[in-house]
Amino acid sequence: MRARLIYNPKSGKEIMRKYLPDVLFELEIMGYETSTFQTTSEPHSAKNEAKRAALAGFNLIVAAGGDGTINEIINGIAPLANRPMVAIIPAGTTNDYARALKIPRTTPVEAIRVLKKNQTIEMDVGLAGEKYFINIAAGGGLTELTFEVPSELKTMFGYLAYLAKGAEMLPRVKPLNVRITHDEGVYEGNTSMFFAGLTNSVGGFESYAPDAKLDDGFFSLIIIKSSNVIELMRLVALLLNNGEHIKDSKVVYVKTKTIKVEILDRGERMMLNLDGEYGGDAPVEMVNLQKHIKFFANLDEISSEAMLGYDEEGFVNTAEKYVNGMDEIKG
């Protein structure tokens, strides 16, 4: 078996430089013939290398870095017919995707040892226009704060840098007049921001979408209607309270396989945030690619309710039963 380790040497506190020999040793004793690639400052460095490695026949890509690095790697392999499996070593600031897959965030060595359990899950992948995302697509208001936090502050202060910038931006959040079309209908009106999630972990919070499944083919779409600073702070408090925000009258919450976002005000701009990185501007159409890429995960630690087809026999594909069940509930 051949593995290609793609790592961002500047992610987090440059932790991969210290642990690289140990990670390679762990992969070797697991039977992987492993080579490495250190990303560079050139555009799409990780994306291009991931595509090259996949076309060269590597069985496994180990993505070591933050959510942005992982996103780039997925964009390199998602369009291909034959996609290698992916393992994650969280070495970034928030590491949302690693949280969702319950990958240890203590050291890279503990993260790579998850492979020894030989537990995998076929994860949904989102496609927004021509770009792929694995955790979150968002637009409006506070979702733009990630573009304003310098990488040096991310490295030094981690998630505290995001919180500080978010507090600074709250008074500047301006609602936009939008039309958001989803499987259940259309929302047309002012919105402070929207989120289309594939997991339950966003920005370090693990209650963004309490009933999110990792492999059911649905986005968890949250639309926050026009809100002032006080209302936004109240919704954040509800988010922290076990996901109570989804019941609020200021929130639209639906499950959907497709999403179309349009700006109705001329001259206004909504930048899209895909996995914490700039992903173009609205208008945009999104589709959920169910079970598109197989990831190593710590399934023993993931709630059975977060995956399709978990029962005492193990993990089986029961997507049809889930959809039928949803139809019964609705009707």
Q: Could you read off the pLDDT of 232-245 as tens digits, one per residue? A: 767 766 665 666 77
pLDDT for the residue 6: 98
pTM for this entry: 0.84
Q: In the CATH scheme, what is the code of domain 2-118?
A: 3.40.50.10330
> pLDDT for 259-300, tens place per residue?
999 999 888 999 998 988 889 999 999 999 999 999 999 999
Residue 148 has pLDDT above 80, yes or no: no
When pLDDT is averaged across residues 166-175 and rounded to a whole number, the result is: 66
Residue 196 has pLDDT above 90, yes or no: yes
Q: Which residue has the higher pLDDT, 164 or 144?
A: 144
Domain parsing of the chain, residue ranges: 2-118, 133-289
In the chain, what percentage of residues exceed pLDDT 70?
Answer: 76
Residue 172 has pLDDT above 80, yes or no: no
Name the nearest CA neighbour of 145 among 124, 162, 129, 122: 162
Computed over every residue of the chain, the mean pLDDT equals 83
Tell me if 200 sits within 8 A of 209, measured CB to CB: yes
User: May I ask the CATH class of domain 133-289?
Assistant: mainly beta
For the record, the structure tokens of 316 come out as 């089986």
Residue 226 has pLDDT above 80, yes or no: no
Q: Indicate which residues carry an active-site annotation.
A: 277
Q: 107 Cβ partners below 8 Å, 6+ apart?
A: 15, 19
Angstrom distance (rounded) from CA 73 to CA 53: 10
Angstrom distance (rounded) from CA 194 to CA 51: 31
